[in-house]
Chains A and B, each alone.
Chain A
Amino acid sequence: MKYILAVLVENRPGVLTHISGLISRRAFNIESIAAGPTEEVDTTRITIGVEVEDEFELEQVVNQLSKLVNVIKIANITYVDSIQRELALIKVRANKANRSDLVDVVEIFRAKIVDVNRETLVVELSGEESKIDALCEVLTDFGILEIVRTGRIAISRGPVPAKDM
């Protein structure tokens, strides 16, 4: 089963080391991890996608992460009505002949072209993972040179922030 955890941590040196160290030491199966600053200057939010066998394993992930001194709060937003997004930048081979086909694909996916040159272009897409996967699959036909993805971030709908969940 896959779960999404919003982990609020103190923005102190070494905090990411502590988190990644714990994940590897306890052999947790982490699918994605994305970190960035928040509305509070001294707080960082880390969205972790985790794959576990059952609720007991999830409980272990949450309890072990909670023990880290710099972890302030963990919210399991898997079952909360939420918006989940990932950002991807994809560098695709594009020549005069197939460029317009490529533009069509990009439009269908409501992606954006953010860089163009004679041989390639860079496509930017934000959305759920499955949508990005789908675009990547289609773009494979054109020849993908490079993919970079941020990993999933998520926020709940409605007024309650993760820190108050």
Chain B
Amino acid sequence: MKMLGAEVVIECLKAEEVDIVFGYPGGAVLTLYDALFKTDFPHILTRHEQGAVHAADGYARATGKTGVCFATSGPGGTNLVTGIATAYMDSIPLVAITGQVGVSLIGKDSFQEADICGITTPITKHNYLVKKIQDLPCVMKEAFYIARTGRPGPVLIDISKDVFNDTLDFVYPETVCLRGYRSLFAGNSNQIDLVIDALEKAEKPVIFVGGGVNISGTSEEMRKVINLTGIPVISSLMGLGCIPSDVPEHLGMVGMHGTYAANMATMDCDLLIGIGVRFDDRVTSLVQNFAPKATIIHFDIDPAEVNKNVRADLKVIGDLRWSLPLLCEKIVEHSITKKQWAKAEWVDLVQEWKREKPLASSLPAGGIRPQTVIEKVSELTQGEAIIVTDVGQHQMWTAQSYSFNTQRSFLTSGGLGTMGYGLPAAIGAQITLPEKDVVLFTGDGSIMMNCQELATLADNGLPVKIIVMNNQVLGMVNQWQRMFYGKRYSHSSTKGCTDFVKLAEAMGVAGLRVTKPEELNSVLEKALKMEGPVLVDVLLPETEDVLPMVAPGGRLDQMVLRGIIG
């Protein structure tokens, strides 16, 4: 049957079991939007293309499925850039479809023309420019295949306007033929035998979990490894959730704002097993000083991650869905148990660190402690909510203080650190998981970066609860200025006339405010019980630091702990 290019796109989405698209229409995608209209395909209109791409990203992180967004040519595409880069840094499966000007107008600086393939080359796993309708089904098939297999990532398809209007006898290809692309699953099991050898020799091991565990959905296998061996676990920001925060072996997040116990364990361990991690600079600080006594083992699906930042002594290349079950098997086979590290007093030592210096605040009594806000939400949601954040101090406090229970329950821009990510990502997550509590922790800086999406939230009746940690400063910038720039607070104050409650109400979101500590519990309880979206503006003291903190270039065991009680 002859079909319009635009209809072909929709048919391909159906074939890929896409159940919703986030987007924003414009000149070059009018025919595509006409096809959406005619087929009644589910689509969420955001208020900015950046909102659409972050929403697709939030959808993908919360479910593991591939998120899809649409935008028009030129500014539509360029508005996606930050969101695509965000997804790329955190390995999120995403397909972004943009319209391009007509074939004969490409390269002529035409109206709303931008070379979006050129622009997104460094921030996509792959991208395509489609100029002939015959290529369209194959490109769509390949794009979804590339986005979700191997190490996932965003793929952009730029489709010329003419292609949407052209016709084709549509057949969706059943397989892809990509000569240069292998999505690795099983690796070399001998590598796991070497890991077992290293475990048998180790006295002070640590397991370091990262985003790869969340992405591959292997938190169950990961928990099994911990249960069997009792090895202390540390987590990157992206790894939070895959091991419940309250498991005794869990020492918390490692790195610049990691816990005392996690950072000390990293510096003292004799074996560090990284599972689906990138050894990002926010984790390692100076790589030369990272885990100096340890044999380092790196489990990853991407061979290019091994030895990129930290030199690994052993590697296990393959999908964690392959390697972790096999590791469990061999751990049982070689009876590697908790006793080994107990004998070496390692387990006692890390627990001692954990007790000795728990996370604490430097605030004098009186104001609302930001950590208390998060702990309260954690208690009210029993750690079962999908927690979304923006970027800054509130993000680190959430990572430190929320008690996570399940994989894919913490959506945050880790690699790129994108302010403005939170609200649209929460929208994407709530749409696909309507039965879940979705709570967004944001700041007075971050919320303004995509606050137009409050309208999307309200108009779709999505019951996301937004907690604005409002300290009237760009908190993290402020903290660095306080610590490293002689308290010269250059342009980091947001004190002004903005009323977040009114802003929310103007777009149809209920607004509440907390000004005194004694109001906190009741307002949070009320907000979480309310139907529909709610924004809670929590007024916090200006000067609270995220602690512990490892100064840039410092060693992980040289934390700024000032203010930590105990």
What 0/1 readout, one digit per residue, does chain B (450-461) give for beta carbons within 8 Å of chain A? 000000000000
Decide if A72 is an interface residue (CB 8 Å cutoff). yes
Distance (whole angstroms) from the CB of B187 to the closest CB of chain A: 14
B291-304 contact mask (Cβ, 8 Å, vs A): 1 or 0? 00000000000111
Q: Of all chain A residues, which has the CB nearest B181? A: A69
Describe A's contact surface by its main secondary structure.
Answer: helix
Bound together, the chains give a CA A9 to CA B180 distance in angstroms of 7
In the bound complex, how far is the Cα of B268 from the Cα of A88, in angstroms?
57
In the bound assembly, the distance between CA atoms of A63 and B184 in angstroms comes to: 14
B335 interface residue, CB < 8 Å from A?
Answer: no
Q: Is A56 an interface residue (CB 8 A)?
A: yes
Alpha-carbon distance A107/B542, docked complex (angstroms): 80
Q: Does A70 contact B (CB under 8 A)?
A: yes
Nearest-CB distance from A94 to chain B (Å)? 41
- The answer for the CA separation of A9 and B126 in the assembled complex, in Å, is 14
Stretch binding the partner chain, chosen from B114-122, B242-250, B399-407: B114-122
Q: Cβ of A59: which chain B residues have Cβ within 8 Å of it? A: 307
List, in ascending order, chain B residues with CB within 8 A of A25's CB. Answer: 122
A68 to B304, CA, bound (A): 11
A-side interface residues, number (CB < 8 Å): 23
A17 at the interface (CB under 8 A from B): yes
Verify if A159 is at the interface (C-beta below 8 Å from B).
no
Partner of A14, one of B127, B181, B308: B127
In whole angstroms, what is the CA distance A140 to B169 when docked?
A: 63
Q: Check if B282 is an interface residue, CB within 8 A of chain A.
A: no
A69's contact among B122, B126, B129, by CB below 8 Å, is which? Answer: B126
Q: Are B122 and A68 in contact (CB under 8 A)?
A: no
Task: Assess whether A71 is interfacial by the CB under 8 Å rule.
Answer: yes
Q: Which residues of B contact A67 (CB under 8 A)?
A: 302, 304
Q: Report whether A10 and B307 are in contact in the complex, using a CB–CB cutoff of 8 Å.
A: no
B488 to chain A, nearest CB (A): 32
B192 to chain A, nearest CB (A): 21
CB distance from B315 to the nearest CB of A (A): 11
Task: Tell me whether A14 and B117 are in contact (CB under 8 A).
Answer: yes
B311 near A21 with CB under 8 A, answer: no
Judge whether B122 and A22 touch: CB under 8 Å: yes
User: In the complex the two chains form, what is the Cα distance from A17 to B180 in whole Å?
Assistant: 16
In the bound complex, do residue B180 and residue A68 qualify as a contact, i.e. CB atoms below 8 Å apart? yes
* Count of chain B residues with a beta carbon within 8 Å of a chain A beta carbon: 21
Cα(A138)–Cα(B344), bound, Å: 71
Q: What residue in chain B is nearest A17 (Cβ atoms)? A: B121
- B-chain residues with CB within 8 Å of residue A66 when the two chains form the complex: 303-304
A14, A56, A63: the one contacting B129 at CB < 8 Å is A14
Q: Is the CB of B303 within 8 A of A69?
A: no
Q: Nearest residue in B to A57 (C-beta to C-beta)?
A: B307
CA distance A13 to B127 in the complex (A): 11
Q: Restricting to B354-404, which residues have a CB under 8 Å from any CB of A?
A: none
A71 in contact with B303 (CB, 8 Å): no
A18 within 8 A of B: yes
Q: How far is the CA of A9 from the CA of B303 in the complex (A)?
A: 19
Instruction: Say how far B64's CB is from chain A's closest CB, in angstroms.
Output: 21
> 8 Å CB contacts to A: which residues of B123-138?
125-129
Q: Judge if A60 is at the interface, Cβ distance under 8 Å.
A: yes
Across-interface contacts of B128 in A (CB, < 8 A): 14
**B125 to chain A: which residues have CB within 8 Å?**
69
Are B129's CB and A70's CB within 8 A?
no
Instruction: Quote the shortest CB–CB distance from A39 to chain B (angstroms).
Output: 15
B304 and A63 contact, CB distance less than 8 A: yes
Sample 27 A-B pairs with CB under 8 A, ordered by A number. A9-B180, A10-B179, A14-B117, A14-B121, A14-B127, A14-B128, A17-B117, A18-B121, A18-B126, A21-B121, A21-B122, A24-B122, A25-B122, A56-B307, A56-B311, A59-B307, A60-B308, A64-B304, A66-B303, A66-B304, A68-B126, A68-B180, A69-B126, A69-B146, A69-B181, A72-B180, A73-B180
A-B contact sample (9 more), CB < 8 A, given A9-B180, A60-B304, A72-B180: A18-B121, A18-B126, A67-B304, A69-B125, A69-B126, A69-B146, A69-B178, A69-B180, A69-B181
5 closest Cβ pairs, A-B complex = A63-B304, A21-B121, A25-B122, A69-B126, A72-B180
